[in-house]
Amino acid sequence: MLTARLTIDPARPVGPVSRRLFGAFVEHMGRGVYGGIHEPGHPEADEGGFRRDVIDLVRELGVTTVRYPGGNFVSGFRWEDGVGPRADRPVRLNLAWHSTETNEVGLHEFASWLDEVGAELMLALNLGTRGTLEALDLLEYANVPSGTTLADQRVRNGRPAPFDVRMWCLGNEMDGPWQLGQRSAEDYGKLAARTAKAMRQVDPAVELVLCGSSGASMPTFGDWERTVLTHAYDDVDFISCHAYYEETDGDLGTFLASATDMDRFIETVVATADHVKAVRRSSRTIDISFDEWNVWYLSRVPADLAKGIDDWPVAPPISEDPYTVADGVVVGSLLMSLLRHADRVTSASIAQLVNVIAPIAAEPQGPAWRKCTFFPFATTSRLARGVTLEVRVDGPGYVTAGYGEVPVVDAAATADDGAVALFLVNRSQDEEVEVSLDLTALGVRTVDEALTLSDPDPHAANTADRPDRVGLWPNPRAVVAEDALRVTLPPVSWTAVSLH
């Protein structure tokens, strides 16, 4: 068996764990909204057509903020289409996902659903095919109490109190050639700054997210961040990061180390933002909104998409990745990367929530169930509280094709009022690891729970027929003796240990 020793200094917290780290993302894409959260006629549907079984699972997942309505979809979206009497709402092409948008669910319905779920709404604006004026209109409609045509229209449409939306994304992935209205960094930076300034004239308290690169592999990555921040630094609060990972060519070793890439990505964007801060002699600090992250088998998408002028299905299944134990382990480790950077990553959204690239599956007229990625997210959202503590890992490494040598054990920890939560990953594919941690300085002695996600088959997954095939199991090999915690991690596993 391999061994690893952890060291945690409670006197050196990284930063407070923002509850917004446990956000998600719902896009009008595939069966995310229609046939996902919303299915009138389903035996579990409420009066508004929203599935109660799905609401229960979203609550259990512990989602705090939900980014909506896109994604790529938003760059072709007219928000007015989704408000007012349903019978009058137009049916449009969803160009991002080659499908038909019925607009049956819009801002009001989604906000009501979020009230049920108990999560905050984060709205994305269309800065692809639209601009500052339309952004102002939506802000006025959503946040101004009453007395203007748009605010009164909201009241007439059934929402007397403002939606009071705090977080707004200034467009989506504006560097991407796939984006409707893709822009150069110069053009986008100027547009975002103009729009942000104008929005603050309506509501100075909005929190604004500037689009960073669509991913760290974009050819303009780094330059894009520097340029857009140079234009909009004083006007925004966050810059976005997006990252998706998948196992390719059977290279499980590289895939399991995906958090290495996320760590580097975050640190590069922080360095770039701080460079702009230095050049501008600014006293403001820009945080990261990691508002799209997950495991996504992106290479399978083209086969899912309809094609042709006469083929625009309503809510076709797209990217309904089944998610394996290995995928769950990677999602757990990506959350650990976010926690490690809690001082600068203060908002994040797993992309997405139901059916599409999602931890929750919902079958038409059938059951809803938890995929493997559900478990580490729900547990981390429940246990990670207070502040993040830095964890030093002394243990073995292994060589990956993607990232060179990486540690076998990945770890993160949080502490809150006498409680410590430890999150651990064993990336070895064939060996157990015994991890030890001296608890003296942490002042905790008792294991409250130790939960592990693993399976002899790392590619096992839950399905409609076997929704409980894989899940968390209580790990009996997490024990405290002589002021030290010892916990044994099976191969390809994610573990959470809470202590007080």
CA dihedral 198, 202, 205, 206 (to 10 degrees): -60
Orientation of helix 185-202 relative to helix 223-232, angle to 10°? 30
Report yes or no: 46 and 52 within 8 Å, Cβ to Cβ: yes
Q: β-strand 360-362 against 368-370: which pairing, if any?
A: antiparallel
Residue number with CB closer to ligand AHR (76 or 332): 76
Alpha helices in 91-206 (DSSP H): 107-117, 132-143, 149-156, 185-202
Q: Which of 120, 173, 225, 320 is catalytic?
A: 173
Q: Is 173 a catalytic residue?
A: yes
Question: Active-site residue among 101, 120, 292, 320?
Answer: 292
Using alpha carbons only, what angle is made at residue 120 by residues 287 and 86, rounded to the nearest 5 degrees?
A: 130
Smaller CB separation from ligand AHR, 25 or 375: 25
Q: Which is nearer to ligand AHR, 357 or 444 (CB)?
A: 357
Size of the site for ligand AHR (CB under 6 A): 11
434 is catalytic: no
Q: Is the distance from CB of 330 to CB of 255 less than 8 angstroms? A: yes
**Would you state the structure tokens that stand for residue 417, as one six-digit string?**
């009022």
**170 scored as a contact of ligand AHR (CB under 6 A):** no
When asked if residue 172 is in the footprint of ligand AHR (CB under 6 A), the reply is yes
Interaction pattern, residues 11-30, with ligand AHR; x per rule: CB under 6 A: ----------------x---
Angle between helices 149-156 and 132-143 (to 10 degrees): 50
State which amino acid sits at residue 372: C
Parallel/antiparallel/unpaired status of strands 2-16 and 23-25: unpaired
**Cβ distance to ligand AHR smaller for residue 239 or 442:** 239
One of 235, 292, 321, 455 touching ligand AHR (CB under 6 A) = 292
Please give the distance of CA 252 from its chain centroid, rounded to a whole number: 22
Q: In angstroms, what is the minimal distance from the CB of 168 to ligand AHR?
A: 16
Q: Which two tokens stand for residue 109?
A: 């319905």
Peptide bond into 404 cis (omega under 30): no
- Among residues 173, 175, 225, 327, the one that binds ligand AHR under rule CB under 6 A: 173
Q: Which is nearer to ligand AHR, 71 or 212 (CB)?
A: 71
Q: Is 216 in the site for ligand AHR (CB under 6 A)?
A: no
Exactly one of 126, 213, 352, 426 binds ligand AHR (CB under 6 A); which one?
352
Chain position carrying tokens 């760059």: 75
72 forms part of the interface with ligand AHR (CB under 6 A): yes
Determine, following the binding rule CB under 6 A, whether residue 181 of this chain makes contact with ligand AHR: no
Interface residue with ligand AHR among 30, 62, 71, 189 (CB under 6 A) is: 71
Minimum separation from the CB atom of position 31 to ligand AHR (A): 13
Q: Binding marks (x or -) toward ligand AHR, 84..123, rule CB under 6 A?
A: ----------------------------------------
Both tokens of residue 19? 């509850």
Rounded distance between C-alpha atoms, residue 391 and residue 382, angstroms: 20
Which residues are the active-site residues? Answer: 173, 292
Interacting residues with ligand AHR (CB under 6 A) = 27, 70-72, 172-173, 214, 292, 351-352, 357
